[in-house]
Amino acid sequence: MSAFKPVRFVEVHLEGQFWQERLETVLTRTIPSQHVQLGEHGILESLTLPAPPPPLRFPRNEHNFTVQVFWDSDVGKWIEAASYALSHRRDPDIESKIEKITDDLEKAQAPDGYVNCWYLQREPDKRWTNLRDNHELYNLGHLIEGAIAYFLATGRRRLLSLLERYVEHVRATFGPGPDQKRGYCGHQEIELALIRLYRLTGERKHLDLASYFINERGKQPHYFDEEARRRGEQPSDFWAKSYEYNQSHKPVREQTKVVGHAVRAMYMYSAMADLAAELKDDSLKRTLEVLWADVIGSKMYITSGLGPAAANEGFTEDYDLPNDTAYAETCASVALIFWAQRMLHLDLSGKYADVMEQALFNGALTGLARDGTHYFYSNPLESDGRHSRWAWHTCPCCTMNASRLIASVGGYFLSHSDAAIAFHLYGGVSARVALAGGNVAIRETSTYPWSGDIKITVDPETPFDFALKLRIPGWARGFDVAVNGAAIAGAKAEDGYLTIARRWAAGDQITLTLPMPPERVYAHPAVRMDVGRFALKRGPLVYCVEEADNPGGPVQRLKLPRGAALKPEQRSDLFGGIVTLASPAIRLKDDDWQDTLYRPEAPAEVPTKVTALPYYLWNNRGPGSMLVWLVEG
Amino acid sequence: MSAFKPVRFVEVHLEGQFWQERLETVLTRTIPSQHVQLGEHGILESLTLPAPPPPLRFPRNEHNFTVQVFWDSDVGKWIEAASYALSHRRDPDIESKIEKITDDLEKAQAPDGYVNCWYLQREPDKRWTNLRDNHELYNLGHLIEGAIAYFLATGRRRLLSLLERYVEHVRATFGPGPDQKRGYCGHQEIELALIRLYRLTGERKHLDLASYFINERGKQPHYFDEEARRRGEQPSDFWAKSYEYNQSHKPVREQTKVVGHAVRAMYMYSAMADLAAELKDDSLKRTLEVLWADVIGSKMYITSGLGPAAANEGFTEDYDLPNDTAYAETCASVALIFWAQRMLHLDLSGKYADVMEQALFNGALTGLARDGTHYFYSNPLESDGRHSRWAWHTCPCCTMNASRLIASVGGYFLSHSDAAIAFHLYGGVSARVALAGGNVAIRETSTYPWSGDIKITVDPETPFDFALKLRIPGWARGFDVAVNGAAIAGAKAEDGYLTIARRWAAGDQITLTLPMPPERVYAHPAVRMDVGRFALKRGPLVYCVEEADNPGGPVQRLKLPRGAALKPEQRSDLFGGIVTLASPAIRLKDDDWQDTLYRPEAPAEVPTKVTALPYYLWNNRGPGSMLVWLVEG
């Protein structure tokens, strides 16, 4: 196991333009507007347990399920995101809103500590009768994560305390004892929250309960079978057909393939990685390495999108990665970042950091519009123009996953051990890191991801020996590095990190140059959808071709010759300054087709120029067609 | 309107190997096995109205619908197919089975003539309360078509007579009168049957009732709205959301776009074409011409498959023709043949015959396995190997559409007017045709579709003047024709037909040569799925590349260079002798990919040869990948 721990986001100041802009947007627009949406959609009102209960806003579907059962989690995630915002700068208005929510939850809480607003209001006698579908523990998990973030930002412990009482109720309810339920939640999340609570409080019982839920999962007799029978249902009537859906088809250590609902899977693997670290559990770590290889090797879109299918919001067959119907839920990419970061702290290896970066810049950032108030739930890699971000969603899980990630994004840049500081991401940050030998102020300056010219200044309080580990991204075909102007000849990265160990003194300066030529990227030939196609990348960014930059018809009618030169273009006129890619291309004409659909003559071709835009920026200029995988020919 | 009428299939003897084989398979294997399946699936038993009713085999779905409501139609279609078989050769065993069905229906029939086994058995008080969903008139339509075919094959009128009593009940129930329902069936079909009944009996009232149903469709106030309210439902709760689903969104003459459920649409257009012909109704004909141009110009797969989407079993947007998820129901291609043939008899134009041929050889034949007992319901143009024909289907509509089409396929070859005989299809047929000037025996000899070398001998009883009209298919880039060995120089086809008018005498011989070079075919660039791809055709056949002929991995990893020569190969070892196409190709290798999904280097390529098979023959040698639209590059 690695000795590295992340440097918390509150210690990392975002100074670069790229992340400054996203952070400010989230703080000033996204988080306030999300509170408005929670109000307008009845979610805040539901915390007050209005009597009589208002009619369902989202009636039960054919599986007898309504999204309203997880409204508590949306509140928890908003509190978490808002509290990260408060860590950047306090805000009495936001704080009073969280206090009001706390008031409501306090009033709602049952004498035994239970506090789930759906059940308390609508089905008080049905608590814990459908863990498979109804998200009770998931809701608690998100509330805990929110409460911890709020406590850390403000020192106020009232919300957390009431949830700790609920946790005690949960602890009494679940476990191996004769009067306890041997259950666990159909949607993993409580485990992550309990481990976070353990890390905050140091109380081992929380870690043990998280571990219990993970270890119990998938055992026979199957809890969800027994629970269904107690409801008078046939277990085989489970709408998703298989417990692969919630990764309880077998005990977790026997799982070797990534299956089922993508977000559930990623949350579970994240919790397992936490447990592997806390408990030094090699069997969990080995399981995760197998699952990691499976998802990275056969199930991940180039954007890091996960889960091609809408039917199960999740995984299907190996290499089944359709582009226009890709589900690739924003939440799943956010959760992949969680998992990747945790793997990175089990083994400081670039393979994890590469995926974390890829998911951040492409899978996750895409979920939030430039305006900070519109969201993608699913993230297709091709559109005929019908896809647009939503102002809100029936199931608003992705909205707050976007905001809580960006509000805390600084936490993904740096890690440290006793005697080393590791850089995973670049883009303009400063931080103060406490090593065993003393405190170190460090500042990284760059316009990454637009340029790979990176400058790092190191300011230890006093000179002492420690190591700087600089990530050399997997996409970099080479690099140059110098310390105080002196090139380090033959510098080599190991496992994705270049280690510079020396006695550092105030003002020492490193320059790292990561060349960023535009690149064509090809998919494994088993991805049948992408045969004869390629994608464009530059640095960590996946590009797409969007109609807004390429007027004249659907972008699907463009072909790019294999050898054509790709040219980066600095565009100060777009989105505050970005780099686009230009290439000679061919446009298929249709004006000589008359009324037929098929003919022996190939479509006429006219030369044109194509401009590609970073994928995460698509659909910010109105509807239009978009394509990531371009036809080569 | 054209003066041509089809020559009935009983007058056309299939002598060529291609159709002989299909016909024999259907007569000896398909039709008997379908009766067995109707028995095993409870459909025959349902005609006996067992009391108490057995539990539903196919429980109601979330739309409160069970396929069992249209079981009567499956019986009707089987009787129709079986009776066509009897027209080829009588069979006491089959006849006794139809007599048994007739006995059951006679016993089931209510005193007022009504005979729908679902309602009589399970919901006797709910007759005619849900025309939108429950197929009552559709069922009657198929029973009538079966009864007419049985009467024509055997002279037995008992089944037809009992249905005529039912038709009188329907006539009393539906119409503009104050005590009548102004309704029509949610699934068109009764109209076709009534027109057929009119043509058999000469009774104008049947034509009028068909015309009433077509003309009433889509009028306001909307019958399905009123009917839903009478059931206590909100019309807006209709699961399909729009009456486009069943083409009742507007009056038929106002419809300009092909929408909704594909089979419903094709049955309706076929009935409209019949009415246009019988009533010399130019407004209907013009409507059909607009709809024809719409479907052919933007909504038809190259195989003639119709309806890309499973959700509505039907049409979506223009040019939305996904290949691997194509629904393209077999029934829809069969019904397109019905419509095309009817359009051809409104205007003897090759554009209709071309589609009829294309649908026959590609969309419809594909539905039935070589063994005669397995069926495709949906017909994708790409498979990763997971598609296979079914032995039966929850909704077995396609099975009997395949058998009734093939058992009567001779009826699509020839038409005649008073003074002309027209050939639409070739492949080895003989017929005796009565013209005004006398009877003509005619024999066409060829191995079409494998070869375009066609010989026709003409034997009028006595020499007289008439015209032969030979279809020159739209796919033919030229042709040669000679009469009695003398080439007709500069012969030109008009509207797809070459007319040879002369005094014909016994033994006159025509040779027609249609060159059949293999061809690449390209899709309109608006079909985004097919950009950078082409399909292979030879003559009327669309080809596909199947793993069985191209071992070494999924066929999706093959690319075909644009200029590569295509070579037809006579293969006596395959399916009784067929022509395959061979081409140099490139196979993408994956053995140097290790564990990654994406990389900057294009996949390694190795030269190979690809063998393409007629699409209708795919999936007859076990599971495997298949592709129609091949990557060019």
Per-residue model confidence as pLDDT tens digits over B448-472: 999 999 999 999 999 999 999 999 9
Nearest neighbour of B522 by CB, restricted to A382, A384, A601 = A601
Q: In 10 A of CB B570, how many CB atoms?
A: 12
Structure tokens that stand for A125 in this block: 């006698």
CA distance B233 to B236: 8
Nearest neighbour of A588 by CB, restricted to B531, B593, B599 = B531
What's residue A562's pLDDT? 87
- Residue B436's φ and ψ, nearest 5 degrees, are -60, -35
What's residue A424's pLDDT? 98
What's residue A279's pLDDT? 97
Inter-chain residue contact B524 with A590, CB threshold 8 Å? yes
Q: In 10 A of CB B595, how many CB atoms?
A: 11
CB-CB neighbors (< 8 A) of B515 in chain A: none
Residue (of A552, A543, A532, A547) closest to A608 by Cα position: A552
Instruction: Search chain A and give the residue with CA nearest B563.
Output: A602
Average pLDDT over residues A442-454: 98
Average pLDDT over residues B537-553: 97
What's residue B563's pLDDT? 87
In angstroms, what CA-CA distances link B347 with B9, B277, B289? 21, 10, 10
Q: Is B517 helix (H, G, I), strand (E, B) or coil?
A: coil
Instruction: Search chain B and give the residue with CA nearest A320.
Output: B384
Q: What DSSP letter does each residue of A450-473 carry, written as one string?
A: S--EEEEEEEESS-EEEEEEEE--
What's residue B595's pLDDT? 85
Residue (of B507, B511, B430, B497) closest to B467 by Cα position: B497
What's residue A192's pLDDT? 98
Average pLDDT over residues B327-356: 98
CA distance A377 to B106: 58
CB-CB neighbors (< 8 A) of A62 in chain B: 62
Express each pLDDT in A18-64 by its tens digit: 999 999 999 999 999 999 999 999 999 999 999 999 999 988 887 88
Average pLDDT over residues A159-178: 98
pLDDT at position A328 over 70 = yes
Inter-chain residue contact B598 with A297, CB threshold 8 Å? no
Q: In which band, very low, low, confident or very high, does the pLDDT at B146 lie, cut at 50, 70 and 90? A: very high
Q: Is A535 helix (H, G, I), strand (E, B) or coil?
A: strand
Q: Is A443 helix (H, G, I), strand (E, B) or coil?
A: strand
Q: How high is the mean pLDDT of chain B? A: 97
pLDDT at position B444 over 70 = yes
**Å from B284 to nearest chain A CA?**
21
Q: Does B318 touch chain A (CB under 8 A)?
A: no
Nearest neighbour of B384 by CB, restricted to A297, A528, A556 = A528
SS3 string of A213-240? HHHHCCCCCCHHHHHHHHCCCCHHHCCC
What's residue A1's pLDDT? 63
Average pLDDT over residues B363-378: 97
Share above pLDDT 70 across residues of chain A, in percent, rounded to a whole number: 100
Q: What is the DSSP letter of B53?
A: P
Catalytic residue among A136, A189, A313, A547: A313
Cα A249 off chain centre by: 24
CB-CB neighbors (< 8 A) of B297 in chain A: 595-597
Average pLDDT over residues B361-389: 97
Average pLDDT over residues B392-416: 96
Share above pLDDT 90 across residues of chain B, in percent, rounded to a whole number: 97
User: What are the catalytic residues of B?
Assistant: 313, 397
Beta pairing class for A630-632 and A533-538: antiparallel
Average pLDDT over residues A255-270: 98
Check the CA dihedral B331-B334-B340-B342 and report its sign: negative
Instruction: Search chain A and give the residue with CA nearest B298.
Output: A597
Express each pLDDT in B307-321 by its tens digit: 999 999 999 999 999
Contact yes or no for B83/B259 (Cβ under 8 A): no
Contact yes or no for B129/B231 (Cβ under 8 A): yes
Q: In which band, very low, low, confident or very high, does the pLDDT at B3 lie, cut at 50, 70 and 90? A: confident
Q: Does A296 touch chain B (CB under 8 A)?
A: yes
In angstroms, what CA-CA distances link B486 with A599, B17, B468? 33, 28, 16
CA distance A544 to A75: 34
ipTM score above 0.90: yes
CB-CB neighbors (< 8 A) of B556 in chain A: 528, 531
Express each pLDDT in B255-284 by its tens digit: 999 999 999 999 999 999 999 999 999 999
Nearest neighbour of A300 by CB, restricted to B320, B322, B597 = B597
CA distance B445 to B454: 6
| A547 catalytic per annotation | no
Q: Hey, which residues does A608 pair with through a beta bridge?
A: A585
Residues 51-90 of A with CB under 8 A from B: 62
pLDDT at position A115 over 70 = yes
What's residue A219's pLDDT? 97
Nearest neighbour of B298 by CB, restricted to A297, A533, A597 = A597
What's residue B1's pLDDT? 63
Cα B289 off chain centre by: 19
In angstroms, what CA-CA distances link A151 with A155, A163, B63, B152? 5, 12, 49, 86
Check the CA dihedral A279-A285-A288-A292 and report its sign: positive
**Å from B604 to nearest chain A CA?**
9
Q: How high is the mean pLDDT of chain A? A: 97
Rg, C-alpha atoms of chain B: 25
Express each pLDDT in A530-559 by its tens digit: 999 999 999 999 999 999 999 999 999 999
Average pLDDT over residues B528-557: 97
Render the burial of A201-236: b for 16+ CB within 10 Å, e for the rest. eeeeebbebbbbbbebbbeeebbbbebbeeeeeeee
Beta pairing class for B558-560 and B533-538: unpaired
Q: Is B560 helix (H, G, I), strand (E, B) or coil?
A: strand
Structure tokens that stand for B268 in this block: 């309706």
What's residue B59's pLDDT? 87
Instruction: Search chain B and give the residue with CA nearest A532.
Output: B631
pLDDT at position B234 over 80 = yes
What's residue A63's pLDDT? 83
What's residue B267's pLDDT? 98
Q: Hey, which residues does A585 pair with through a beta bridge?
A: A608
Q: Does B437 touch chain A (CB under 8 A)?
A: no
What's residue B594's pLDDT? 83
Q: What is the DSSP letter of A391?
A: S
pLDDT at position A256 over 70 = yes
Express each pLDDT in B58-72 by its tens digit: 888 878 899 999 999
| Full strand arrangement of the beta sheet holding B464-471 | B5-6, B414-416, B420-423, B464-471, B497-504
Contact yes or no for A400/A81 (Cβ under 8 A): yes
- pLDDT higher at A594 or B106: B106
Helix (DSSP H) and strand (DSSP E) numbers for chain A: 17, 23
Residues 522-561 of B with CB under 8 A from A: 522-528, 531-535, 554, 556-557, 559
| A331 catalytic per annotation | no
